[in-house]
Amino acid sequence: MEKLIPFTVNAPGRVFLLGEHSDYLSLEVISAALDLYITFSVKPRDDLKFNLNYQDLNSKDSFSLNDDVTYSNSRDYVRSAFNILFRKEIIPKTGADIIIKGTIPIAAGLSSSSALSVASIITFAHLANVSLSKYEIAQYAFEAEVVEFGESGGMMDHLSSVFGGIIHVDFGDEIKLTQIPTDLTGLVIGDSLEKKKDTVGDLKIIRTNVENGYSLLKKSIKQFNHRETSLAEILNHINKIPEPSKTMTLTTIKNRDLTRRAFTFLMSNSKDEIKFGKMLYEIHELMRDGLKRSTDKIENMIRSVKEVGAFGAKINGSGKGGTILAYAPGFEQEVANAILSVGGQPYIVKISEGATLTSK
């Protein structure tokens, strides 16, 4: 094998536009990759050792190709990416010194962990001199982050980081991905600086309650299908389901229908900013009222950005802290200032391409 030269991997974070909490429930999601990244600066070594320098965390790690690569914590995603590929006989030919840093706010609903997993898969595959397809990168990153640790998340974050742009993904029997060719601008992220306490546990609670709701609806509705049965028919039977499954299930179905409307809207490349802003706020209301994902500070931020020109705003990711997305073409700076004024941290962002590897 020809000696590898140093290289850099950039994997973007993502924001859900519509369809939060739908990927792991076999429904549809629309997300956008953002120009906030996890970056690996990789210098191949002449031996089999990996030295990891997590600059933002002021933390270091190291292991060798000859080691039994165990985990120091339940979300040790770089090591898990190595293990996932190793089991598939995608084995690096050499070690490397890897500097890891990022511009994605951590634990803020923008998929910093998924970007980390994607960057790890790309890095180790390149060191193994193996070319992976985009779907393979996303699948292996999903396995490294979610499957390896028995967590409840879906694959949307990894697909978004790998493919970039704005994508619609239908998580039916087979994953169907559609790139949405729309020029969406005016996006501002607002970090509430409220760190979420138990994202994984929250996802498990939602998934368990919604799947319980599906099971009970199957007893009342002949040939019930959570992807196809209409909201109107479900409303005739929803009162048979106890809380909190009742509200969470109904919210999921409303979310399903809203995401489909938004997909049609975005594919039309409509310039109706007011209509799209209303859709974003509608999904926020579902997350706030149906899944109880908001906080007082998040609500204050959303009120503030709407007062200065945002057409719509919503909470991001799993919620209970983290970030909001404001849609404010022409008012980006005003919205950023409003976020600052209520104690948040703003990021004026653009849609990004997918993960990249560049040689130095």
pLDDT digits over 43-60, tens only?
A: 999 999 999 999 999 999
Q: What CATH number belongs to 7-180+352-359?
A: 3.30.230.10
Residue 258 CB-density burial (10 A; 0-12 exposed, 13-18 middle, 19+ buried): middle
DSSP secondary structure code for residue 21 in this structure: T
Instruction: Provide the 10 A C-beta neighbour count for residue 21.
Output: 28
pLDDT number for residue 202: 78
Residue 109, sorted as left (phi over 0), alpha (psi -120 to 50) or beta, turns out to be left
Distances (CA, A) of 350 to 38, 93, 154, 280: 16, 37, 24, 17
Q: Which residues of the chain have pLDDT under 50?
A: none
User: CA 336, CA 347: separation in Å to the nearest integer?
Assistant: 7
**What integer pLDDT is reported at residue 92 of this predicted model?**
96
CB 250 within 8 A of CB 210: no
Looking at domain 187-349, which CATH architecture does it have? 2-Layer Sandwich (3.30)
Burial class (CB in 10 A: 0-12, 13-18, 19+), 160: buried
State pTM to two decimals.
0.91
Going 260 to 263 to 265 to 268, the CA torsion angle's sign is negative
Whole-number pLDDT of residue 169? 96
Residue 23, pLDDT score: 86
Structure tokens at 63: 């292991």
* Tokens 């908001």 sit on residue: 294
187 with 325: CB under 8 angstroms? yes
pLDDT at 197: 67
φ/ψ bin of 108: left (φ > 0), alpha (ψ from -120 to 50), beta (otherwise): alpha
What is the predicted pLDDT for the residue at 119? 98
Per-residue pLDDT, 198: 61
How confident is the model at residue 4, as a pLDDT? 81
Cβ proximity of 31 and 267 under 8 Å:
no
Give the DSSP letter string of 196-261: -S-HHHHHHHHHHHHHHHHHHHHHHSTT--TTTS-HHHHHTTGGGSPTTHHHHHHHHHHHHHHHHH
Domain ranges, ordered by start, for the chain: 7-180+352-359, 187-349
